[in-house]
Amino acid sequence: MALPLALSGQDLIGQARTGTGKTYAFGIAMLQSIGKPRKNRKKPRGLVIVPTRELAVQVSEDLVTAAGKLGSRVLTVYGGRAYEPQIEALKAGVDVIVGTPGRLLDLVKQKHLDLSQITTLVLDEADRMLDLGFLPDIERIFKLIPAERQTMLFSATMPGEIVALSRKYLNRPTHVRAEFDSGEGEATPQVRQIVWRAHRMDKIEIVSRLLQADGRGLTMVFCETKRACDMVAEQLDTRGFAVAAVHGDLGQGQREQALRAFRNGKIDVLVATDVAARGIDIDDVTHVVNYDCPTDDKTYVHRIGRTGRAGRTGIAVTFVEWEELTRWKMINQMLGLDFAEPEETYSTSPHVYSELNIPKGTKGVLPHAARSRAGLSAERIEDLGETGRVRARGGRRRDEREREHEREREDRPARTSRQRRRTRGGRELAESAPERPEVELVDAKSEETPAIFTTDEIQAAAEPKPARGRRGAASTAIEQALADAPEAPARRTRSRKAADDVPVEEVTEATPTRTRGSVAEEAAETRAVRRAAAPESESGGRAAEPVVERRPAPAVQPEPAPSFLTTPAAPVRQEPERIVPANPFTVIFQSPDLATDDDDIAPSAATERKQQRRQARGGGNRRRTN
């Protein structure tokens, strides 16, 4: 219906379900109006603008197929690839350019692309380009194109805002719908839709069992975020499935490698974000899984439209979590579906096996006998000369890990029997000198090394120390102090008369270590002895004092000069003088008795009461006598 209008040169707004062949609707009309290529014509005549790189590659392949007889030159222009091949193709001459807005404006700014001779402009998936924020770039491209042109907009969903905005740049457009009796954006009737309310931690288990259903072909799993996409791909790869991920954080070469492996059947599961939900046409896609609930009705329509294309049938399974139930009810109302209250489902629910035709007893891990896919690593990565940073995938695939382990096992040298050798000082024991006894005899005449510890410290360390407790700590300290202290002299109780008979030689004897209490007693005894030895004369004078025998002081030996060859002896530690009584039971201090003989004894309370009674009786007798 749109093809006759497009061939006549009118502006169109085409809307049809996904998978109905919109690409050929505008492609055939564009190639027909351009005609066969000419050598003197190098500037492009047709321009197709798409929102994603994957869609650009697919549209280019379809146009090349349609222009097989005409020989039209079609060039694909998008970011992530080197500029040089695209610039060389533009210099050689092209007829149709298919690209994204960003790279098109870059080539125009570098003056390698001239859009002044464009006669046909097509916006494929126009609503998606406006959602991605391409509207300012689209307006700049419209200003670079001649006003006399044919403009066509095609999409599966066409909101009213897009139609109103397109009237500004289109000349009396005709809005064409493929089916008048159907609601806008309605899903493909060939797709069987299943909506379940599942728990977040159990969704990966349901997907693993769904991938083992009978008759399953290629499967696409859609996630909302890039991180969730990597997580799902990693877990499915761990469970044994041939899987690859496609999202915006991967390099262009990796994204195209995954799509080629998916088309060629080297992998059978493709986990992607919404970047692969627009216009990607891959045969034999039998199942589509919405791992995360779509954000709106248009996203839901484009996701499930990857299956059931060109009259085929497919199954679309959507998981709705409890917090996403409100969003799903809005999508269900907009599309007029019958899943307002999704059934609560778990991986062990019986209806999962019956509705998806899963054999009973299937677990969440793919058996080794069923792992027949070559894997992602079997597809070669094309060197596209990427301008940006090459991004790594979220995790390594199973076949890559197995090959790495095989290489490590091959490179690892074989183990050989090893005998232990006894060595001494880096030489073997047989070559070394004869063994010496571990204990060497010391010659008595050899110089001895001066001791570091004193004799007292060695004896103190050799003596066994008694065990101390809390209660016996005081008694143990007193016993240790008594053992270390010298014997105290006996207390002298002589009278002055007896002291006069003491000879002088006794005074010159060496006295033991004095204590603070015995100093005064010895001083008094010394004075008494001196007075007895020198009695006063009758004339009142004092006789000459007797000569007291004094011991000569020991000669002081001169200390030898210090030498660096001799080791100085350790200094002897001087312990302070200990004041310990001779007997622990001796009274050291006694408070003075301040009482005298004249003091009366204080009467007791009973005695005072008796005195009071006597005084009372005596007073009464006095009254009678008076």
Name the superfamily (CATH) of residues 2-177. Answer: P-loop containing nucleotide triphosphate hydrolases (3.40.50.300)
pLDDT at 242: 95
pLDDT at 145: 92
pLDDT tens, residue by residue, 489-507: 545 544 444 444 444 444 4
pLDDT tens, residue by residue, 115-169: 999 999 998 887 777 666 778 888 899 899 998 899 988 877 777 767 777 777 8
pLDDT tens, residue by residue, 16-67: 777 677 788 888 889 888 888 887 888 999 999 998 888 888 889 889 888 8
pLDDT tens, residue by residue, 352-382: 999 999 999 899 999 999 999 989 988 888 7
pLDDT at 196: 96
User: Cα–Cα distances in Å, from 526 out to 337, 499, 507?
Assistant: 129, 10, 8
pLDDT for 535 beyond 90: no
pLDDT at 543: 45
Q: Which residue has the higher pLDDT, 157 or 593?
A: 157
What is the arithmetic mean of pLDDT over 523-550?
52
pLDDT for 193 beyond 90: yes
Element containing residue 56 per DSSP (H, E) = helix 53-66
| Burial letters 402-420, b for 16+ CB under 10 A, else e | eeeeeeeeeeeeeeeeeee
Alpha-carbon gap, residue 20 to 439, rounded angstroms: 100
What kind of fold does domain 191-400 have according to CATH? Answer: Rossmann fold (3.40.50)
Which residue's structure tokens are 């869609």?
A: 55
Measured N-to-C along each axis, helices 226-238 and 203-210 cross at an angle, to the nearest 10 degrees, of: 60
Alpha-carbon gap, residue 301 to 297, rounded angstroms: 6
pLDDT for 181 beyond 60: no
Measured N-to-C along each axis, helices 135-144 and 101-109 cross at an angle, to the nearest 10 degrees, of: 50
Instruction: For the chain, give the mean pLDDT.
Output: 76
Q: Give the range with max mean pLDDT: 170-184, 279-293, 396-410, 431-445.
A: 279-293
The amino acid at 241? F
DSSP letter, residue 340: S
Which residue's structure tokens are 């204590």?
A: 515
Alpha-carbon gap, residue 135 to 538, rounded angstroms: 146
Q: What percent of the chain shows pLDDT beyond 90?
A: 30
Domain ranges of the chain: 2-177, 191-400
Q: Where is average pLDDT lowest: 284-293, 494-503, 558-567, 595-604?
A: 494-503
For the chain, what percentages of helix, strand and coil (3-state, to nearest 5) are there?
35, 10, 50
The SS3 assignment for 185 reads: coil
CA 214 distance to own-chain centroid: 42
Confirm if 229 and 376 have CB atoms less than 8 A apart: no
Q: Which residue has the higher pLDDT, 343 or 408?
A: 343
| Burial letters 320-359, b for 16+ CB under 10 A, else e | bbeebeeebeebbebbebebeebeebebebeebbebbebe
Alpha-carbon gap, residue 479 to 416, rounded angstroms: 71
pLDDT tens, residue by residue, 277-293: 776 778 789 999 999 99
Which residue's structure tokens are 């066509």?
A: 152
Q: Give the range with max mean pLDDT: 293-297, 523-527, 568-572.
A: 293-297
pLDDT tens, residue by residue, 506-522: 444 444 445 545 555 66
Alpha-carbon gap, residue 413 to 189, rounded angstroms: 62
Q: Which residue has the higher pLDDT, 540 or 481?
A: 481
Q: Do 191-400 and 2-177 have the same topology in CATH?
A: yes
Alpha-carbon gap, residue 211 to 146, rounded angstroms: 52
Alpha-carbon gap, residue 68 to 71, rounded angstroms: 6
Token pair of 136, please?
A: 């300012």
Alpha-carbon gap, residue 506 to 216, rounded angstroms: 126
pLDDT at 261: 92
Q: Which residues contact 128 (CB under 8 A, 6 or more apart)?
A: 51, 52, 155, 278
Alpha-carbon gap, residue 20 to 3, rounded angstroms: 13
What is the arithmetic mean of pLDDT over 610-615?
88
Long-range interactions of 237-240: CB distance < 8 A, separation 24+:
237/395, 237/397, 237/398, 238/398, 239/208, 239/364, 239/365, 239/366, 240/365, 240/366, 240/367, 240/368, 240/370, 240/371, 240/398
Confirm if 223 and 373 have CB atoms less than 8 A apart: no
pLDDT tens, residue by residue, 300-345: 988 898 888 767 889 999 999 999 999 999 999 999 999 999 999 9
